[in-house]
Structure 1
Amino acid sequence: MNIKSRLKVMLFLQYFVWGSWLVTLGSYMIKTLSFSGAEVGMVYSSKGIAAILMPGIIGIIADKYIPANRLYMICHLIGAASLFYATTVTDSTTMFWIMLINAMAFMPTIALSNSISYSSLSQYQLDSVVNFPSIRVFGTVGFIIAMWSISLLKFELSSMQLYIAAGCSLVLAAYSVTLPKIPVNKTAISTSWMSKLGLDALVLFKKPIMAVFFLFAMLLGAVLQITNTFGNPF
């Protein structure tokens, strides 16, 4: 199997994991576990918290200490374990903490999967600008097929969606071992923590066009999360 096909499989599985529960977990928590709307919203807020905190931190670790594909494997193992445990949870507070652990492991894998793709294509002398879009679309395909599968199998109100996501995450963790090794950069670079975490990019908001873009992106993101959380229960 050539490297492009291998990356397509990785991205398909990456988003299949997410699509297995992201849109239907709200229905499971409301209809099966009898959580209130506020409790479901609290559980889903874990994604936003993790998305703010973890990608920058994991990115530093991947750059300097652990190859990206190995870190990717570790994150998915943690994600699989948390999803398996989530199938046994029946109270909202515990569900929040378990899904926060899952989100802290899963959210960085989105960026890591991109980094692995770019680096692997580069190792095979393939232009990422030309080749990556046709690879990345398989992530979207995986997400859609996962949602269809959960609905058609009538698992929307069942913890089986979490079992499927956890099993797929385990498969992906094992599969990531077969991908090309991504070298780390151990060369000392004198940069501030603000720069390492990408916070120095905030200076871009001085440009009105960037401030407007950020505002509308934030509003769109808010609508998307409301849809993910309550669209299926509705």
Structure 2
Amino acid sequence: MTFPIRFRLSLMMFMEFFIWGSWFVTMGTFLGSNLAASDGDVSLAFSTQSFGAIIAPFVVGLIADRYFQAQRILGIIHLIGSWLMYRLYQSGDFSEFFPLLLVYMILFMPTLALVNSISFNQMTNPAKQFSTVRVWGTIGWVTAGILISAFSWDSPEGLSAGLLKNTWLMTSIVSLAMGLYSMTLPDTPPKAKTDGSFSLSRMLGLDALALLKDRNYAIFFLSSILICIPLAFYYQNASPFLTEIGVKNSTGKMALGQVSEVLFMLALPIFFYRFGLKKTLIVAMLAWALRYTLFALGDADSGLWMLMGGILLHGVCYDFFFVSGQIYTDSHAGGEFKSSAQGLITLATYGLGMLVGFWAAGQISDYYLDAAGDHDWRSIWLVPAGISVLVLLFFISFFKGEKELSHQ
């Protein structure tokens, strides 16, 4: 992979995750402060991600693997997304906000598989090369969080003035730039064979489901669904949690989790090579359990170090599980269905797992809400900690090591 190609793919990843990080981290806080949304409304809003992820395999399987170049689809989606983000910026209540967000996420979630597919198509050794490109997505997410805190949109003064709505305008502008830039990316033509015969499974992009015939991959797929249940608690509750207990510059502090993600992304190929896939995934799931335990025990004063420790574990939690899983999926997919295979793992993680997780997080948050409007955060965070431990035990018991993958 030449330097110009690496640079172009890295910029693509930077913009893709800047767009997502510009609004996703603070959406729970925004909905509560700007639109007076309830915990149930917040849960419903975050669930739009899951609906989009469930549809994603069909979109990329039908379109990107069979009929159109992936970079063109990516560009068109982001151009439409720019307009939708501007409409969200203008929204005045949750009933107007929710359907726009739902349409946006149905369009956006397939782009996560598309940027992976475009990247893998240019790589000769994804296990070594992908993390050096994907790390720029994390830097993009970090940059978005730092800007939000630098502009004080998430400060008490900014929240009272309603400035957090500017995140949607910022996303709209960058989405427009991403849509135009995507049209210049390296060609990623469809690779699946189209012999003219009709097949429902082909039409819906379900060919990638053949991956589940492999017992090990099926165990990994199920573990991916289950571990995303506790992950949803972090995405949905972390920003409101830190804001409610009085942590200053919470969005900027949460961005430190992505700083750690940069470091662990760069360390991933070394860890992957030395210890193999199974141990890499075990470390990730153990980190999830530890993170939520630290959140349960920490506070904004003497226990701030625990909260920061939980945030800094994000690099291990995300990189060692999700990026490893994307590489693992690509290695099993074969040449024809790389896009739909990435869509399949998106369905498992951001779709099925988080759909259950966002619902559970909303129910648990409501259950531990007192009459004064304060949450029992210790009890809330112990729930995903326990789930993470159970998923870890399941994975250790049934997944067999695949050392050969770590040397590819």
* TM bin (shorter chain): 0.7 to 0.9
Q: Could you tell me whether the CA contact under 8 Å between 2:74 and 2:114 is conserved in 1?
A: yes
Structure 1 residue aligned with 2:230: 223
The counterpart of 2:96, out of the listed 53, 71, 94, is 94
1:155: Cα distance to partner?
A: 2.1
Structure 1 residue aligned with 2:375: none
2:90 alignment partner, SS class = coil
User: What pairs up with 1:139-158 in 2 under 5 angstroms?
Assistant: 139-156=137-154, 157=159, 158=164
Structure 1 residue aligned with 2:84: 82
With over 3 angstroms needed to count, the CA separation of the structure-2 counterparts of 1:180 and 1:42, relative to structure 1, is same
- For residues 145 and 137 of structure 2, what CA distance do their matches in structure 1 show? 13
With over 3 angstroms needed to count, the CA separation of the structure-2 counterparts of 1:216 and 1:78, relative to structure 1, is same
Which runs of no fewer than 5 residues in structure 1 stay unpaired? none
User: What pairs up with 1:121-200 in 2 under 5 angstroms?
Assistant: 121=122, 126-156=124-154, 157=159, 158-185=164-191, 187-189=193-195, 192-194=199-201, 196-198=204-206
With over 3 angstroms needed to count, the CA separation of the structure-2 counterparts of 1:4 and 1:211, relative to structure 1, is closer
- For residues 193 and 221 of structure 2, what CA distance do their matches in structure 1 show? 34
Q: Could you tell me whether the CA contact under 8 Å between 1:18 and 1:143 is conserved in 2?
A: yes
Q: Over aligned residue pairs, what C-alpha RMSD do you find?
A: 2.4
The counterpart of 1:50, out of the listed 49, 52, 66, is 52
Structure 1 residue aligned with 2:209: 201
Relative to the length of structure 2, the TM-score reads 0.52
1:142-190 CA-to-partner distances (Å, cap 9, x unmatched) read: 1122122212322234111111111111111111122122223584245
Q: Could you tell me whether the CA contact under 8 Å between 1:68 and 1:116 is conserved in 2?
A: yes
- For residues 222 and 193 of structure 1, what CA distance do their matches in structure 2 show? 31
Counterpart AA for 2:84: S
1:204-229 CA-to-partner distances (Å, cap 9, x unmatched) read: 3784x556544442232122222212
Structure 2 residue aligned with 1:59: 61
- For residues 68 and 57 of structure 1, what CA distance do their matches in structure 2 show? 11
Moved more, 211-220 or 103-112: 211-220
Which runs of no fewer than 5 residues in structure 2 stay unpaired? 242-408
With over 3 angstroms needed to count, the CA separation of the structure-2 counterparts of 1:132 and 1:211, relative to structure 1, is closer
Counterpart AA for 1:146: A
Structure 2 residue aligned with 1:16: 18
- For residues 38 and 24 of structure 1, what CA distance do their matches in structure 2 show? 16
Structure 1 residue aligned with 2:120: 118
Q: Could you tell me whether the CA contact under 8 Å between 1:20 and 1:146 is conserved in 2?
A: yes
- For residues 66 and 218 of structure 2, what CA distance do their matches in structure 1 show? 32
With over 3 angstroms needed to count, the CA separation of the structure-2 counterparts of 1:213 and 1:169, relative to structure 1, is same
Structure 2 residue aligned with 1:3: 5
Relative to the length of structure 1, the TM-score reads 0.87
Aligned-residue identity in percent = 32
User: Structure with the greater relative contact order (CA < 8 A, sep ≥ 6): 1 or 2?
Assistant: 1
1:232 alignment partner, SS class = helix
Moved more, 110-119 or 177-186: 177-186
Counterpart AA for 1:39: D
Moved more, 84-93 or 43-52: 84-93
Larger radius of gyration: 2
Counterpart AA for 2:102: L
1:91-122 CA-to-partner distances (Å, cap 9, x unmatched) read: 22322211111111110111111111122x25
- For residues 96 and 202 of structure 1, what CA distance do their matches in structure 2 show? 35
Structure 1 residue aligned with 2:372: none
